[in-house]
Structure 1
Amino acid sequence: MVNCYSLNSVGPTVEITSGPRRFIAVYLTSAIASSAMSYWFCKAPAIGASGAIFGLVGSVAVFVTRHRGMIGGGREELQHIAQVIVLNMVVGLMSKGIDNWGHFGGLIGGVATSWLLGPAWKYKSMSIDGRRVFVDRPPISYLTNRRK
């Protein structure tokens, strides 16, 4: 139930800001990174949705950090994200059956994927009717020399 609630809370935000294809990329990469980290470091590896959800939380953190000038600093949002991560890690340390390695792996997977593929909006120009025009140039576009 907690995973369902968490996915419903953070999932739409990631999908709206990143788009459905990037959402799927972040979710799947986070799930794989979560399972791999759990397998490598946990005595009883686990597979579940919570690591992928941590990846989505990491994706929101990357988005806020990357666009803090556009969203008014983002300090409060980043503090809230950090509190959620720390609280979940503490609960994981105090409870049997919760795999913090999987959570940490998912978080790393989500942050890395979002940093590379996630939206990176840049101000381009002003339209004729006075609206700002932005372009989306994620770092991967510079690495592949493919610009939108």
Structure 2
Amino acid sequence: MNEETPPQGEEQQRQAVRVQLPDRKPIVTIILTVITSVIFIVQYLVQISTGYDLLFLFGGKINEFIMQGEVWRLLTPALLHGGILHLVLNMYALFMIGNRLERFYGPGRFLLMYFLSAFAGNVLSFVLTPAPSLGASTAIFGIFAAEGIFIFQNRTLFGPTRTRQAIINLVMILLINLAYGFLGRALIDNMGHIGGFLGGIFFAWKAGPTLKLVGAPPFLSISDSRRRSDIVVASLVVFIGFTIIALIPFLKT
């Protein structure tokens, strides 16, 4: 029995088309992972030698100190962690998501989005949560949100099935993490997670890569049509917007 085969010309043409993706190494992701890990080692060594977590005392999100003007605490908690498991989970998430996302965002825009998300998360935690907190999860939730926005805005390239599956996976992971924070351990700063997530959404919606195919088959590549002015506007919106939110406790005094 003779087996049917697809037309050779059509099959060869389909196989000949290859899309060249951005060939960037996740430099910022690697640097952030290394720096955050080194800071944790220093934090741990100082703690076991002095009996005090001095790096947290000087850089953690502690509301009363922020109210005294130590506003760097709205950013530095993203570089500190409360334990090895806390660090490993956050750095694993950073590396896995950053490895995929930074190649499209580029190093500068990815770094900007990371710290704007951390700022947004710590601001919302400062305003809504009296408990001290630390950790990179504010920024992690921001890049997590940015990945969802990136897939959604470029859904014509990813295709409906892949887009739907990716969005569902992201939503499920988000809901599980938030539910664990609300119903599980009280030490989890869900307001920081939500703030980072919102910061990532606001930034990515206006500043995230919008991809288009350029060239002609079989020589296709991906180009980002996002304008630099859009990135500037998105950065200002997130920074100024959450700065205004951060002023709320000061206005009540």
Q: Indicate whether the TM-score tops 0.5.
A: yes
Q: Percent identity?
A: 31
The structure whose residues are more often helix, as a share, is 2
2:196 is matched with 106
1:44 is matched with 131
Structure 2's unaligned 5+ residue stretches are 1-87, 233-253
| Runs of 4 or more above 3 Å deviation | 132-135, 139-144
Structure 1's unaligned 5+ residue stretches are none
2:207 is matched with 117
Number of residue pairs aligned between Structure 1 and Structure 2: 142
Match of 1:77 among 126, 148, 166: 166
Q: With the length of structure 2 as denominator, give the TM-score of the two structures.
A: 0.52
Q: CA deviation at 1:126?
A: 3.3
Q: Are 2:101 and 1:14 equivalent residues in the alignment?
A: yes
The structure number with the bigger radius of gyration is 2
Change beyond 3 A, Cα 1:69–1:48 = same
How far apart, CA to CA, are the structure 1 residues paired with 2:97 and 2:225?
Answer: 23
Q: CA deviation at 1:132?
A: 3.4
Say which SS state the counterpart of residue 70 (structure 1) adopts.
helix
Q: CA deviation at 1:84?
A: 0.7
Equivalent residue letter for 1:39: F
Q: Is the 8 A contact 1:15 1:23 kept in 2?
A: yes
How far apart, CA to CA, are the structure 1 residues paired with 2:226 and 2:167?
Answer: 20
Q: RMSD over aligned Cα, in angstroms?
A: 2.0
How far apart, CA to CA, are the structure 1 residues paired with 2:90 and 2:149?
Answer: 21
Comparing both chains, which one has the higher relative contact order based on Cα–Cα distances under 8 Å and sequence gaps of 6 or more? Answer: 1
Q: CA deviation at 1:78?
A: 0.3
